[in-house]
């Protein structure tokens, strides 16, 4: 039986769909952990990024926080979390929240700064107070980049959650870690495929949500335009939008 066939047989095996160790339960664990981490991270990161962007202070930190975040290996964060709180779901959650925060802070900051100064002035000239400018002008315009940040974080979290299986948590990473440990390569491949599929689903649904949330007047008319060079946090953020 060739390898592709073995992987297929693994998926077709009914016992792999049942119980705590089955595909549905592991997928559910993985999805809820990822969702919860991104949600909590967003509750922390978005207000910070938006506030910094709105008031225009502390920009250097906001821009660089995603670089700093990227520089910290997620494996290390996970093990440190375990040293702090023990094994299980909690350290995985803490590590994933920590991982998800930086891109969202940077992207929401940049999104807010990208709002054209003229538009802001026009709004103020129309008599809008600060809060109204924020909610009715800045946030809708910044939304694509904010959503891009959430998307980036979400996809990172789904991928990194696989590592949490190394510290006795569950999720789809279990198939990968146990598969490698047992040298059961069909199981491991199956796990990798499941995570990849989940990543893609998350990426596309959030991209769709982003498109829906973007006011019609701001949606790009052509999918690929003359883009600015990437290389700064700002450009990476915009390219992901």
Partner 1 sequence: MLATGVVGAVVDPWIRWSWVSGHVDVITAALVQHIELTLIAVVVGLLIAVPLGLVAWRSRVFRGPIFSLTGILYTIPSLALFSALVPLTGFTTLTAEIGLVSYTLLILIRNIVVGLNSVPDDVREAARGMGYRPFAELVRIDLPLAIPAIVGGMRIATVTTIGLVTITALIGKGGLGSLIYDGLLRDFKTPLVVGTVLSVALAFVADLGLAGTQRLITPWSRGRAAT
Partner 2 sequence: MYLKRIFGLGASMVALALVTTSCGSSGGTASSASPKGTVTIASFNFSESIILAHIYGGALKNKGYTVVYRDKLGNREIVEPALENGQIDLYAGYAATDLTFVEKKQNVTLDAGTDAQANVQKLNTLLSSKGVKALDPSPAVDQNAFAVTKAEADANHLVKLSDVSSVASGWTLGGPPECPQRPFCQQGLQSTYGLHFKAFKALDAGGPLTYAAFKSGAINIGLVFSSDGAIAANNLVVLDDDKHLQQADNIVPLIRSAVANGEVTALLNSIDAKLNTPDLTALNKSADVDKLDPADLAATWLKSHGF
Give residues 106-145 in contact with partner 1 (rule: CB under 8 A): none
Q: Which of 181, 208, 215, 220 binds partner 2 (CB under 8 A)?
A: 181
- 205 is a contact residue toward partner 1 (CB under 8 A): no
Contact between 177 and partner 2 by CB under 8 A: the answer reads yes
Contact 39, 76 (CB under 8 A): no
Interface with partner 2 includes 168 (CB under 8 A)?
A: yes
- Please say which residue, 41 or 202, places its beta carbon nearer to partner 1: 202
Map residue 166 onto helix, strand or coil: helix
Give the residue, chosen from 85, 122, 182, 209, that forms a contact with partner 1 under the rule CB under 8 A. 85
DSSP 8-state class, residue 8: H
Residues in contact with partner 1, shown as a per-residue x/- string from 42 to 81 under the rule CB under 8 A:
-------------------------xx-xxxxxxx--xx-
Pick what 228 binds: partner 1, partner 2, none; C-beta below 5 to 8 Å, kind-dependent. partner 1
Q: Is 2 in the site for partner 2 (CB under 8 A)?
A: no
50's CB contacts (< 8 A; 6+ apart) are 108, 109, 112, 134, 139, 142, 146
Radius of gyration of the chain (CA): 21
CA-nearest of 97, 95, 110, 99 to 71 is: 99
Q: Which of residues 78-107 bind partner 2 (CB under 8 A)?
A: 82, 86-88
Structural element, H or E, at residue 44: helix 23-55
């Amino acid at each position: 039986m060739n390898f592709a066939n073995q992987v297929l047989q693994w998926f077709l095996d009914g016992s792999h769909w049942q119980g705590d160790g089955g595909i549905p339960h592991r997928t559910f664990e993985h999805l809820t952990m990822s969702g919860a981490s991104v949600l909590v991270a967003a509750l922390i990161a978005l207000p910070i990024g938006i506030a910094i962007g709105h008031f225009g202070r502390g920009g250097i930190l906001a821009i660089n926080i995603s670089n700093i975040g990227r520089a910290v290996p997620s494996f290390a964060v996970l093990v440190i979390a375990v040293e702090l709180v023990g094994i299980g779901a909690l350290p995985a959650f803490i590590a994933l929240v920590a991982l998800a925060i930086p891109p969202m802070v940077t992207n929401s900051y940049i999104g807010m700064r990208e709002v054209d100064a003229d538009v802001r002035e026009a709004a103020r000239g129309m008599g809008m107070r600060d809060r109204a400018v924020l909610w009715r002008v800045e946030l809708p315009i910044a939304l694509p980049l904010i959503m891009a940040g959430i998307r980036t974080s979400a996809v990172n979290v789904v991928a990194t959650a696989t590592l949490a299986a190394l510290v006795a948590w569950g999720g789809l990473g279990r198939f990968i870690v146990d598969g490698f440990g047992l040298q059961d390569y069909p199981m491991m491949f199956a796990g990798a495929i499941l995570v990849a599929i989940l990543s893609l689903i998350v990426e596309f649904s959030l991209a769709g949500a982003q498109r829906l949330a973007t006011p019609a007047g701001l949606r790009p008319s052509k999918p690929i335009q003359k883009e600015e060079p990437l290389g700064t946090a700002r450009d990476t953020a915009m390219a992901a939008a």
